[in-house]
Structure 1
Amino acid sequence: MSASAAAAAFQDHYGRPPEGIWSAPGRVNLMGEHTDYNQGYVLPLAINRRARVAAALRPGGLLRMATTAGGAPAEVRVEDLRPGVLEGWSRYAAGVPWAFGLRGAEVPGMDILLDSDVPVGAGLSSSAAVECAVALALNDLADTGFSRDDMVLLCQQAENEFAGAPTGILDQSASLLAAEGQALFLDCRTRASRLVPLNLAEAGLVLLVIDTRVSHAHDSGGYAQRRLDCERAAGSLGLESLRDIDLSGLVLAAGTLETTQYRRARHVVSENARVLAVVEHLETGRPPARLGPLLDAGHESLRDDFEVSCPELDLAVDAAKAAGALGARMTGGGFGGSAIALVRRDDAGRVGAAVTRAFSRSGYTAPDLFPVEPGPAAARDA
């Protein structure tokens, strides 16, 4: 939906025009899965799928929320915002003004209409896109003065504490800080970041997203259990986090960890090394087409050591590579969601068709496939 269409939908629903339109992108994580909450490194990029919010202030301290996606409208008084007061999609939107209020902002009443084409449950950060779009709208309309770095943490707090999803800062950082034609290299311990050139179009490449349509949710038990596994592994090693050990040190300390903890730790430590390798590759001007082996290794680690893949994701990766993809891996938290395949632009249709045929032969629901390139960060659209 365009900004003008979002404005018209707001007018139809609330009977008045919005004061502005804001949008924020979903993201693909090129490398660095499950490293963010381990104070490690990540390398996401914004994509051309966005959550768009039309919004206006309203008197009386009432927050009203509606969506074009068929979810139920919701309303709550700002003074009554607290974790558990809402369910479903609206808790991601409402968590943002709640978090702003905790930081001392004067939060007014608002009318919000959400339209999003970021697939839900696909591992592309649909929830963070909603949060970041609402944060920009509230920051502008209420003149709260928060920086984008501030809003990364506010939106993470909304997701963690209000929506109940124990995520790190990767998703919100990508949505708010990324840039067109570039990936975002983020150190999740220091929060230092820099943009890394990733001009896929110039190289004749695209990332083909393969949404398996197997839904996942970060507030379910699998994600939280992996996080706990990592915390326990770090504690057993006497470390603040798994960021503080390299592969050689981990091998030497293997005897202090039980088998599952060791495999979880091995994924995180090796994934941090892969992020650094990709960044060095891109910043030294080497062709992005040669990143395939690192993508492949990332998927193998997520599948075997971290155990967050699933048969549909494995099939998507294997079928894409067999059809000519330069490399492929799952992206996002796992347990379903999406895979990405690095493909030459002219091969995208052929690779996608091969993946679709493989799903059909296996009796799986047909995947949704679409190409992405690094896109712009969250912004005011109108």
Structure 2
Amino acid sequence: MEKSGIDYLRKKLNHHKLRVDARYRYYAMQYFDPSLGITIPPDLYRRFRAILGWTSKSVDSLANRLVFREFTNDDFLVNDIFKLNNPDIFFDSAVLSALIGSCCFVYISPDENGQPRLQVIEANNATGVIDPTTGLLTEGYAVLERDEHDQPLIEAYFLPDTTIYLDRRLDEPYEIENPTGHPLLVPVIHLSDSKRPFGRSRITRAGIYWQQYAQRAMVRSEITAEFYSFPQKYVVGTSQEADALDTWRATISSMLEFTKDEDGDVPKLGQFTTSTMTPFIDQLKMAAAGFAGETGLTMDDLGFVSDNPASVEAIRASHENLRLAGRKAQRSLGAGLLNVAYLSACLRDGVQYRRTQFVNTQPKWEPLFEADANTLTLIGDGAIKLNQAIPGYINGETIRDLTGIKGAELDG
């Protein structure tokens, strides 16, 4: 197969980098919306800058529930590889990066003992040409290190039989042999399909719109609050020869004195009708409802707490869309992690295993929702009845998949 080349992959990465960087800025709550209304001056808009973390909440609410457990039917002992690579940090980092940038990449390299070393690279620093059948890359490119100006310092070009490193501090690139038969850069993709083979971000355009809508409403409400706190007043009928009023004194003073003029006329005081904050609160709630519907969250998740606290079952029912999104993410991310395990085993053993030899190895995830006492009771009753109908149908492993609780191991 003809290769696209490193120049093509550089251009491809630069094309997608801006979009991924914007998603990371939204997640870090550092993105400033430059859009303005027709009545607020730009300097006033910048002074009352609003910050919301709804997009961060949409990512974390799903990422915190995607807890990887292990690989079952581990014929090639791939679980040992992940145990040597800080699994608590590695899996969380891979899942979070994939949810933000639509995918992440795992760079596999041998350590000094020949064991696979796994490093998560964000989507704004790596790309490649994907094989839609296996989910592996036919060639890959990654920026391993950048300088203080965000320019590539160390680059790597991944091929099936070799990995080429380009270091700006060195005169010539150097190569390291790859015995696996596949590029040692593996994509872990969130929600991939035929149209978007590298997946879709959890931070969607609709979610960004609703957050920006809410931010604009908050800016308008904060500016209006200044006039709400100090209503505008007016005086009519003053003499043209009278001294000008000190506006700040007129605002904070508890007593003002106005004398009659030569004709005996008295000035009349008045106050403009103050703006109410109710429309802005309604706008904020509408934005929260739209964002919650887009991301599978509830109004409670976004800070609009209901008066009556919900039970665990009610919370689970209200998060049905989030549960479905989590199931889909587990299937999509699990395929990528299995590819990481496959190539890691090939690199460790120095053998080009066939991909079909890993079909029985399956990724296992913890339940998306932790079981409470009521759920445990219901599952226990159901397990007893099912085992009475079909002896041995429910075992300890099945119960752990449903509850996430690991029972005591029995001897013998």
Length-normalised TM-score, structure 2: 0.26
Larger-Rg structure: 2
Structure possessing the higher relative contact order (Cα contacts under 8 Å, 6 or more residues apart): 1
Length-normalised TM-score, structure 1: 0.28
